[in-house]
Amino acid sequence: MFGRNKNVDLVTNLIVKVRKYKNEQPYFSFHSMPAIADKENARATVEKLNELVKLEPQEKEWQTEYYSVPLTL
Protein backbone atom coordinates (compact mmCIF):
# COMPACT_ATOMS: atom_id res chain seq x y z
CA MET A 1 0.00 0.00 0.00
CA PHE A 2 2.86 2.36 0.75
CA GLY A 3 5.34 0.86 -1.74
CA ARG A 4 6.42 2.10 -5.14
CA ASN A 5 4.03 -0.03 -7.21
CA LYS A 6 0.67 1.74 -6.93
CA ASN A 7 -1.17 -0.78 -9.17
CA VAL A 8 -1.15 -3.61 -6.63
CA ASP A 9 -4.38 -4.92 -5.08
CA LEU A 10 -4.09 -5.78 -1.40
CA VAL A 11 -6.37 -8.53 -0.13
CA THR A 12 -7.17 -9.26 3.50
CA ASN A 13 -9.95 -11.01 5.39
CA LEU A 14 -11.97 -9.31 8.11
CA ILE A 15 -13.27 -11.37 11.03
CA VAL A 16 -16.78 -10.13 11.78
CA LYS A 17 -18.83 -11.05 14.86
CA VAL A 18 -22.61 -11.05 14.33
CA ARG A 19 -24.99 -11.13 17.29
CA LYS A 20 -28.74 -11.39 16.87
CA TYR A 21 -31.52 -11.20 19.43
CA LYS A 22 -34.63 -13.19 18.46
CA ASN A 23 -35.83 -11.84 15.11
CA GLU A 24 -34.39 -8.34 15.52
CA GLN A 25 -31.75 -6.71 13.33
CA PRO A 26 -28.27 -8.20 13.89
CA TYR A 27 -25.40 -6.33 15.58
CA PHE A 28 -22.05 -6.36 13.77
CA SER A 29 -18.61 -5.86 15.30
CA PHE A 30 -15.02 -6.80 14.55
CA HIS A 31 -13.16 -9.53 16.40
CA SER A 32 -10.27 -8.36 18.61
CA MET A 33 -7.90 -9.40 15.79
CA PRO A 34 -9.99 -8.01 12.93
CA ALA A 35 -7.86 -8.83 9.88
CA ILE A 36 -5.97 -11.92 8.71
CA ALA A 37 -4.17 -11.80 5.36
CA ASP A 38 -4.28 -15.53 4.57
CA LYS A 39 -7.70 -16.76 3.42
CA GLU A 40 -7.23 -20.29 4.79
CA ASN A 41 -6.08 -19.04 8.22
CA ALA A 42 -9.05 -16.67 8.37
CA ARG A 43 -11.46 -19.50 7.54
CA ALA A 44 -9.87 -21.79 10.15
CA THR A 45 -10.02 -19.02 12.77
CA VAL A 46 -13.72 -18.45 12.08
CA GLU A 47 -14.46 -22.17 12.38
CA LYS A 48 -12.68 -22.33 15.75
CA LEU A 49 -14.42 -19.20 17.02
CA ASN A 50 -17.82 -20.64 16.04
CA GLU A 51 -16.96 -23.88 17.85
CA LEU A 52 -16.06 -21.90 20.98
CA VAL A 53 -19.35 -20.01 20.82
CA LYS A 54 -21.20 -23.33 20.91
CA LEU A 55 -19.30 -24.36 24.05
CA GLU A 56 -19.84 -21.10 25.94
CA PRO A 57 -23.10 -20.54 27.79
CA GLN A 58 -25.24 -18.23 25.67
CA GLU A 59 -27.48 -15.47 26.86
CA LYS A 60 -31.13 -16.36 26.47
CA GLU A 61 -32.52 -15.67 22.95
CA TRP A 62 -29.14 -14.47 21.59
CA GLN A 63 -27.32 -16.04 18.64
CA THR A 64 -23.64 -15.36 17.92
CA GLU A 65 -21.67 -16.29 14.80
CA TYR A 66 -18.37 -15.29 13.24
CA TYR A 67 -17.74 -14.73 9.53
CA SER A 68 -14.68 -14.19 7.36
CA VAL A 69 -15.25 -11.40 4.84
CA PRO A 70 -12.70 -10.76 2.06
CA LEU A 71 -11.64 -7.16 1.56
CA THR A 72 -9.64 -5.81 -1.37
CA LEU A 73 -7.86 -2.46 -1.11
Domain ranges of the chain: 11-72
**How high is the pLDDT of residue 10?**
81
Q: Strand, coil or helix: what is 39? A: helix
Tally DSSP H helices, then E strands, for the chain: 1, 3
Mean pLDDT for each 10-residue chunk of the chain (73 residues)?
68 92 90 87 94 87 92 85
Strand boundaries in 7-54, DSSP class E: 11-21, 27-36
Which stretches of 3-38 are DSSP H helices? none
Distance CA 57, CA 7 (A): 47
**How high is the pLDDT of residue 58?**
76
Summarize pLDDT for 52-71 with one digit per residue, the tens.
Answer: 999 988 788 889 999 999 99
Distance CA 38, CA 46 (A): 12
Distance CA 19, CA 63 (A): 6
